[in-house]
Copies of this chain bind each other. A is one copy, B any other.
């Protein structure tokens, strides 16, 4: 790879002049400039971004830490992040933790070592200290989907309203006994949807039933098994609310296997919708999460924070919080 030096030699000027010409960072005589451009072109010169980064103290890279990608909302969010980041001149590094705190710790430790200017994370909640440390060391941090520390910026959806809206919607549809499939209450999205749902349930006088399983939460099997159990225990169940789409798919499967008719006998609604709900034999009603926009927003937020002049003085900027409304997409399961 050709370097600045090579270009300088060919153009018979100093490297500093080449740098200035190529970056348009101060006036350079047109003739000199032309010579430099010609030389750069001839050599196929591309600046070494690593050296630039080292020199300037900016890496133009953000790290994204999420539990997993396939069949989750995160693959869509990640695309939003990556697109916006690229548009703003940033690279996107990705880590998938499978929600294992140890893996997450390893990822974060590696990322902090000077490779990224900022980290967007949908975390396990088990590395709160480390995250604070990282932020204190000058790397911006934005929480994604899951908010666990109000001192760190965040981009989330309004899960509480989502849970309440879902309950109200089912009530209006005539449901009176709703099964609720969720996940670990350590994680804010599950907790908040539950809270919102419960509050609405009280107000409306709905009956609610719950179920859990030892399986991985964000999975088809989890939804399937929870639905099975609730259907076993409550023959008069008339709706199932699932936290995420894949659980909803599991519930639909469990319900249809019993020969129950959706939506006539029982309705199924997911509370974290992404496109898959619309691709089914019986399309699934869901609270759609504006995943792409949330990703873009997170990228924008963290890059703004990175570029804040205050950072230079080692000051930590005040955390920003952005919350997106989830919107009901009515389909065939309700």
Contact = CB atoms under 8 A, between A and B. Distances in A.
B280 A113 contact: no
Contact of A93 (B50, B91, B246, B249): B91
A127 interface: no
Contacts of A204: none
A59 B49 CA distance: 11
**Copies of this chain in its oligomeric complex:** 2
Given A91-B110, A94-B78, A253 B275 contact: no
Contacts of A110: 86, 91
Given A50-B50, A281-B282, A96 B70 contact: no
Contacts of A82: 94-96
A80 to B, nearest CB: 10
A245 to B, nearest CB: 9
A61 B49 CA distance: 13
A252 interface: yes
B279 A249 contact: yes
B78 A220 contact: no
A54 interface: yes
A115 interface: yes
A274 interface: yes
12 contacts: A46-B112, A48-B54, A50-B53, A68-B79, A69-B76, A70-B79, A70-B274, A71-B75, A79-B96, A82-B94, A92-B93, A253-B279
